Amino acid sequence: MKQNIGFTGASFKKCSIFNNPLGDLRHVLIDNNELKISEIYFSEVNPKSTKAWKFHKFQTQNISVAFGKIRIICVKDDSGHQIFEVFDIDYKSNHGVLSIPPGIHYALINLYDDIAILFNGTDKVHDPSEYQSAQPDSKKFINLIHKYASN
């Protein structure tokens, strides 16, 4: 299967950080008309771990890093080949929200020695019937994990 880096439909929006000597303030959502949020949860990705491959048929994910650093690979199947994008997001220098629309496979990769804590605001309440998963070493995606699951 042919793979090309390109636009999958996922989009990253940088958000403000307000520095404070007692602890910084980080925006995630400024105007709820911008993102429809029906459910919010926090997810952990252990050090040097990969959570993959996730796929939602109807639900949009809006992911921000609350603590740590994460690499997210988004993959869209397009007429016999894969289009993919790689996003490196952290809670300090590249803070923002990655919106992943339905129909895109994605992997969460923690390349670092600390746990990563992710905020996920979804546009629909969780429904197990609309969610699919594949193993990180799935033949369909294995070369992407090998290529991007290291620094």
Write out pLDDT tens, residues 50-95.
Answer: 998 899 999 999 999 999 999 999 999 877 788 899 999 999 999 9
Q: Which residues neighbour 24 within 8 Å (Cβ) at sequence distance 6 or greater?
A: 17, 18
Q: Which domains, ranges and CATH numbers included, belong to the chain?
A: 2-17+35-148 (2.60.120.10)
Give the model's confidence band at 3: pLDDT under 50 very low, under 70 low, under 90 confident, else very high: low
Give pLDDT, residue 30: 58
Distances (CA, A) of 71 to 37, 81, 88, 149: 23, 22, 4, 8
* Predicted TM-score of the model (pTM): 0.89
Write out pLDDT tens, residues 99-146.
Answer: 999 999 999 999 999 999 999 999 999 999 998 887 766 777 888 888
Query: Residue 115 gets which letter from DSSP?
Result: -
